[in-house]
Amino acid sequence: MVITPTPKLPSEVTANLQKLPLSPKGAEVILGNILEPEILAIPLAPSPTTMFGPRGACLFTNGSLWVSDTGHHRLLGWRNLPTRDSQSADWVIGQPDFYHEGQNAKGKLGKATLSVPTGICACEKGLAVADAWNHRILIWKNLPEDSNVPADLVLGQANFTENEPNRGNQAASANTMHWPYGIFYHQGRLFVADTGNRRVLIWHQMPTENGQPADLVLGQPDMISRNENGGSSPTAASMRWCHDITFWGDNLVVTDAGNHRVMIWQGMPTENNAPCAVVLGQKSFDFVEMNQGHYVPSGSSLSMPYGVGVAGDWLIVADTANSRLLGWRKPASILSLQGAVADAIAGQLNFQSKGENRNFGLPKRDSFNWCYGIKICGDTAVIADSGNNRVLLWRFDEKINHKDEAARWGDSAVGGFPDLRRLSSALPT
């Protein structure tokens, strides 16, 4: 009998390998797709409990939750933090009711219609949504508390009745957009991942007028250029498919999914086309292969990372095509992070695994299938698990400095941070 020795994993796979400090029980609450193994096909018809490819979600500090139900072209809202699986939404924006779907509700474009909504974020006392295929950003000055509340402000278009990419022009400009997928608000500034124009737009103050032009651009040399990687080879300043944005302490972070990397600036950029300081997912600025050119991932590679979130010292990246979350702890200097191996993982058993729902099985409370978005509010990670047609509310177990967290949220902190631990007695086992 021949005994085949167990292969030894590379040191990169085993060194630093630990689980992200998420509850070992998995998500406390699952919204959307239900975990019932005997059901082989979940209908995707719209209802108050179903979702189709949600790509963004945000838990607000007053306890309300809003989800971009992308495939159904609508937003779903819960008045309070959901406490049970498949809990019905309270509100819908973008459709006449919970049972209809279609781009712009199969009717006229307006202040409360949507076409492929993706990123969503707290924005002062309200919310902002990337209405990607209408090539615009919609902003509500106050959090909606009813269905189909009209937006107050639109960016990327001159008004609420137009939706041409770049307003019908070949070139971009400071007040146009093409497939904006990401949105983020931080300390008075508004950031948009203008994905189709391969750039990030920044407003130094909260816009007050429809179609207001941005003040700063990253990823392009000027406001009119829109070429992939600036029309040349990738650099520390260029982008291919930017998607999500956050701040890690004082450092700007952008996911560049098309270049399979995460870009980190040392501080807040002050000039157009400013280069980032380091990238995660690649060993250098000019190398941009998926999983660094290998079929299997590693602890330092990425494949189409779409989402990013921050929990205290942790930077958590939704490594979407690898169906996993990777986490890096904040070092003394971010310059040491160039191509660094992640400190922790969730969704896969090791750094070399990448199958949807681990080995292409049924979804579990702690597995992912093309997770697109992650945002952390207080002790709760909100994960848009797009391929499983669901959103996960998963407790972050490690103590987070809520004072620092509140400072990061700024004016959007309208109440106490929700903590799922308070709800444990009401949650399913």
pLDDT in tens, 150-206: 999 999 999 999 999 999 999 999 999 999 999 999 999 999 999 999 999 999 999
- Residue 192 or residue 418, greater confidence: 192
Answer whether residue 215 is part of any domain: yes
Answer whether residue 428 is part of any domain: no
> What strands, in cross-sheet order, belong to the sheet with 324-329?
305-311, 314-319, 324-329, 344-346
Res 262 pLDDT > 80: yes
N-terminal to C-terminal alpha carbon distance within the chain: 45
Res 69 pLDDT > 70: yes
Return the pLDDT at 426.
30
Q: Are 277 and 264 in contact (CB under 8 A)?
A: yes
Q: Across 53-198, where does the E strand assignment appear?
A: 56-59, 65-69, 74-78, 91-93, 117-123, 126-131, 136-140, 153-155, 180-186, 189-194
Res 61 pLDDT > 70: yes
315, two tokens: 């930077």
Answer whether residue 4 is part of any domain: no
Answer whether residue 1 is part of any domain: no
Res 408 pLDDT > 80: no
Return the pLDDT at 22.
94
> What's the CA gap between 45 and 97, in Å, rounded?
13
Answer whether residue 60 is part of any domain: yes
CA angle 357, 360, 364 (to 5 degrees): 30
Query: What is the band of 311 on the pLDDT scale with cuts at 50, 70, 90?
Result: very high
Return the pLDDT at 397.
82
Res 2 pLDDT > 90: no
Res 425 pLDDT > 50: no
pLDDT in tens, 243-257: 999 999 999 999 999
Alpha-carbon distance values, 315 to 153, 226, 289, 301, 377 (Å):
31, 29, 22, 15, 13
Q: Are 28 and 82 in contact (CB under 8 A)?
A: no
Return the pLDDT at 35.
63
Answer whether residue 73 is part of any domain: yes
Average pLDDT over residues 95-118: 98
Name residue 325's beta-bridge partners.
318, 346
CA nearest neighbour of 218 among 251, 165, 254: 254
- Residue 6 or residue 80, greater confidence: 80
- Residue 1 or residue 174, greater confidence: 174
246, two tokens: 């956050």
> Which of 232-241, 369-378, 420-429 is least confident?
420-429
Return the pLDDT at 17.
56
> What's the CA gap between 255 and 231, in Å, rounded?
19
> What's the CA gap between 310 and 246, in Å, rounded?
7
Return the pLDDT at 400.
55
pLDDT in tens, 266-304: 999 999 999 999 999 999 999 999 999 999 999 999 999
177, two tokens: 């957009």
Answer whether residue 195 is part of any domain: yes
pLDDT in tens, 330-386: 999 999 999 999 999 999 999 999 999 998 888 999 999 999 999 999 899 999 999
Helix and strand tally (H, E) in the chain? 3, 24
| Three-state secondary-structure class, residue 336 | helix
Q: What is the mean pLDDT of the chain?
A: 89
CATH of the domain at 317: 2.120.10.30
Query: What is the band of 399 on the pLDDT scale with cuts at 50, 70, 90?
Result: low
> Which of 2-11, 104-113, 114-123, 296-305 is least confident?
2-11
Return the pLDDT at 313.
94
Answer whether residue 87 is part of any domain: yes
Res 94 pLDDT > 80: yes
pLDDT in tens, 14-58: 444 588 999 999 999 999 977 665 454 555 899 999 999 999 999
Indicate the number of domains in the chain.
Answer: 1
Name residue 153's beta-bridge partners.
139
> What's the CA gap between 353 and 360, in Å, rounded?
11
Residue 325's domain spans which residues? 14-32+42-423
Alpha-carbon distance values, 22 to 157, 343, 397 (Å):
40, 14, 5
